[in-house]
Structure 1
Amino acid sequence: MSSSNFLTSPSAVDRVVRDGRSGLVLPPGEAAGRVIAEVLADLHSGEHRGVVVDSPPGAGKSTLVVRAAGELAEAGEPLIVIAQTNEQVDDLIGRLAQAQPELPIGRLSANEYTATERIKNYSTVRVAAKVADLGGSSVIIGTAAKWALVPEGRWPWAIVDEAYQMRSDALLRVAGRFDRALFVGDPGQLDPFSTVETGRWTGLTWDPMQSAVAALLRHNPELPVHRLPVSWRLPASAAPVVAEAFYPFTGFSAGTTAAQRSLSFTTTGFGGGAEDEALELAASTGWALYELPARHTLRTDGEAAAACARLALRLLERGAVAVSERAPGGVAVTADRIAIGAAHRDQVAAIRSRLGAVGAGITVDTANRLQGREYDVTIVLHPLSGRRDATAFHLEAGRLCVLTSRHRHACVVVARAGIAELLDAHPSTEPVHLNVPVRFPDGWEANQAVMAYLTR
């Protein structure tokens, strides 16, 4: 096995951000604060039926949702919050209950739902399967699928979280429940998906496979769109890479400097070989490419799965310590702060089976389920590793964006050699449809950009 292809560290991030509207050069916190103030001003003005906020990875999207919900509720505006998964619902409830300890919150759920540790300790949170049983709640939070089953009721405001994950038909099913809405999401990550063929609707203004935001803006182009300019998750080593590959026209900056974050090990890497070399380089530069020999393999590549597991277990063995603005004195990188991401569930199962009991706390999941989550270190099995072809699924820019933007300190990409050649042999052939906006960057271009950086 070879692990010879590693990248070098980018230059430190500038500690200023250019404000998109005024053109002023501002510190990251002030630039982000200005955008949030503009969003909240639009909400309180009542001039718009909808407000859209585009957020890069880790830009404080959930913080904005919690703050907006709290301010609207305090102003006497009952509201609902629509998220896309139960994980997102529980996360938002926990954050909101902590930020607003006196605010009555309702959790709209299925009959068989059991409250998680994140929310069951808050006395202000009530859980029920029917809106009628949540009377008195200033904010009611549930998934889009659950809200679609609510037959009646109307609220002055709704906040739609992860709005780019939401299909337009799902928005149509709940649009009758509110008068105005704040739509918050990340335009660079995974699009809505379907398990059935959807070509018959392509190009139509009511195409159900559009995201909720895309459909909203096609019919209401006058609505204000704000863009958060700073990622507080991605380190200075990652923000320029992710911004260039997946957000070439809007961009964003890291909210921290290289000096504020570091990753080190409490033990030396004696006898670890290629795994130690990759981990040490990732710790010092933020990135590493752990490259296996070129080979066409089955989708469930046992050697690649084993490599992902070995890297994660070795990271635990070496006693990694993460220093950041949250923990200036350093904190141990425990199993729950490590994630391994892959494209398919069978790959996830193969990796998980190789972790054993020692790695039981390590998160292993697909890009779809990792979206919105955050870890100190991530290990990524590249979607194109070992493939003979480059299908639309494996080339999707959002999938690679999610996988390479979950980390606060370092990301190790595991892949078989030959991806660059595979991309050259399969140039982008996505058809161009009438009335469908061309998306940039496309998956081919994004993958080329990431691989060029990793192999530089």
Structure 2
Amino acid sequence: MTDVLPAVMEHLQFADAPGVVVDSPPGAGKSTLVVRAARHIAESGDPLAIVAQTNEQVDDLIANLARSAPTLPIGRLSAQGYVPVPRIATHNNVTVDNAIAGLAGSAVVIGTAAKWSTLTQGAWPWAIVDEAYQMRSDGLLQIAGRFDRTLFVGDPGQLDPFSTVETERWAGLSWDPQLSAVAVLLRHNPGIPVHRLPVSWRLPATAAPVISEAFYPFTGFTSGTAHSDRSLSFATHAFGSSPVDRTLETAAATGWALHELPARHTMRTDDEVARACAAVALRLLERGPVAVSEKSRAGARVTADRIAIGTAHRDQAAAVRQHLPPNSGITVDTANRLQGREYDVTVVWHPLSGRRDATAFHLEAGRLCVLTSRHRHACIAVARAGISELLDAHPSTGRVYLNEVVKFPDGWEANQAVMSHLEQHRVPA
């Protein structure tokens, strides 16, 4: 990270290209880079626009930037009726308004891509697009003309932009709106400099090689920590040896566990899997987990807010919540909403659990990448047996279009790679 920012800023300021791309694997310091770049530009005296993809990302960016630069005037470009969340409202240097005129005194203006697209006037010499791989190309097209130079930062292995309408009519076109903003940008501007952050400071040494091989085959990365730097232990011992306790012990010892239920074809909201996800998370809290890391050499208690349960669908997340106490503090959400967030331990409802077929949605590499790369210490997958057989029976047979850029890695291959690793840490339930 120390050497990347000067090179990025030099290219952004002096290269002939209209922008710079920075690829960042999970936990490589993308947010830190965005904040440092924003401060660097703001200190020059030029106004800066920052574009994020969701309101949650906007609020996180503002909170991080306001904390890093408490005297920097920051504007939050919001929708009508937006009420500042606590982490925003506590900063006196943040102004919130739904019109750009109301943020005239701000050195940095931050808003979602959807909000920026509603502006009818205004131009900025500098812009930063955060989570650029989540942004659809048509979203960039609506706002790109307002910025002279743009820094694009994102994770190429995460979820692609999605659409609720059929997009086959545009497949193979260089400006396909379903492609990410970065993909279309690079196809039309091959000379744009691309930098890569090669180290993940989130993923432990037990996880970085697995995630790198499965989801980043051509731009691999390493963990910033060694095996000896992190450990997970429990303050209490288990009475007996239940499958859930064996799963937790396996995860603490190896960083991974597959809590495997009996094979069965089920509805999407499989109640047994939902109950198992909740049971694993609750039992984890009961055991009093203690995480030792470079941030806490003496060990820190893993509290409920440092545990997440990830699913592929919203109704699955709702099914898990029904088995948790009210206000448990444990985060339960879909991969789309967990993207960009970090926890000590994650419990993953495997997208292919209990399915009769392997659809493109459930095979998407980005979805599994998000679910399995949120943790600092351990990831526990909960699934029914039979996923490997399902993958063998449903090889990748997606349509291929002329001129379409082939996306790597292939979702089928990525799922096979992750499942091969999980099977080494299987605990029958």
* TM bracket, shorter-chain basis: over 0.9
Deviations 1:302-335 (A, max 9, x none): 0000000000000110011111111112111111
Tell me, in whole angstroms, the C-alpha distance in 2 between the residues paired with 1:44 and 1:254.
31
Contact 2:135 2:180 in 1 (8 A): yes
1:381 to 349, 357, 362: 349
Deviation at 1:204, TM superposition (A): 1.1
Deviations 1:182-216 (A, max 9, x none): 00000001000001111011111221101000010
Look up the match of 1:134: 103
Deviation at 1:284, TM superposition (A): 1.1
TM-score by length of 1: 0.92
Tell me, in whole angstroms, the C-alpha distance in 2 between the residues paired with 1:80 and 1:434.
37
Look up the match of 1:430: 398
Q: Are 2:82 and 1:113 aligned?
A: yes
Q: Are 2:393 and 1:392 aligned?
A: no
1:204 to 169, 173, 178: 173
Matched residue SS, 1:73: helix
Matched residue SS, 2:27: coil
Contact 2:5 2:37 in 1 (8 A): no
Q: Are 2:371 and 1:403 aligned?
A: yes
Tell me, in whole angstroms, the C-alpha distance in 2 between the residues paired with 1:218 and 1:249.
18
Tell me, in whole angstroms, the C-alpha distance in 2 between the residues paired with 1:281 and 1:324.
18
Tell me, in whole angstroms, the C-alpha distance in 2 between the residues paired with 1:370 and 1:276.
26
1:258 to 209, 222, 227: 227
Matched residue SS, 1:242: helix
Flag the 1:268–1:110 CA change in 2: closer, same or farther, 3 A. same
Deviations 1:164-187 (A, max 9, x none): 000000001111221110000000
Deviation at 1:46, TM superposition (A): 5.1
Deviation at 1:272, TM superposition (A): 5.7
Q: Are 2:36 and 1:57 aligned?
A: no
Question: Deviating runs (4+, > 6 A) in structure 1?
Answer: none
Look up the match of 1:87: 56
Look up the match of 1:215: 184
1:364 to 332, 337, 359: 332
Look up the match of 2:44: 75
Structure 2 letter corresponding to 1:226: H
Matched residue SS, 1:330: strand
1:355 to 313, 324, 330: 324
- Determine what percentage of the aligned residue pairs are the same residue: 71
Deviation at 1:35, TM superposition (A): 2.7
TM-score by length of 2: 0.97
Tell me, in whole angstroms, the C-alpha distance in 1 between the residues paired with 2:72 and 2:282.
42
Deviation at 1:40, TM superposition (A): 2.1
Structure 1 letter corresponding to 2:222: S
Segments of structure 1 that go 5 or more residues without pairing to the other structure are: 1-31
The size of the alignment, in residue pairs, is 424
Structure 1 letter corresponding to 2:312: A
Look up the match of 1:24: none
Look up the match of 2:419: 451
Tell me, in whole angstroms, the C-alpha distance in 1 between the residues paired with 2:278 and 2:139.
37
Deviations 1:33-86 (A, max 9, x none): 223331122123254311000000000001000000100010112110000001
Matches within 5 A, 1:293-332: 293-332=262-301
Which has the larger displacement, 267-276 or 239-248?
A: 267-276
Look up the match of 1:173: 142
Matched residue SS, 1:107: strand
Matched residue SS, 2:3: helix
Which has the larger displacement, 416-425 or 433-442?
A: 433-442
Segments of structure 2 that go 5 or more residues without pairing to the other structure are: 425-429
Tell me, in whole angstroms, the C-alpha distance in 2 between the residues paired with 1:89 and 1:272.
45
Deviations 1:244-300 (A, max 9, x none): 000011100000111111111100011460111011110111000100001100111
Look up the match of 2:427: none
Deviations 1:119-175 (A, max 9, x none): 111111000000000011000000001001111100001100000000000001111
Structure 1 letter corresponding to 2:410: D
Tell me, in whole angstroms, the C-alpha distance in 1 between the residues paired with 2:334 and 2:412.
20
Which has the larger displacement, 265-274 or 296-305?
A: 265-274
Look up the match of 1:16: none
Q: Are 2:7 and 1:48 aligned?
A: no
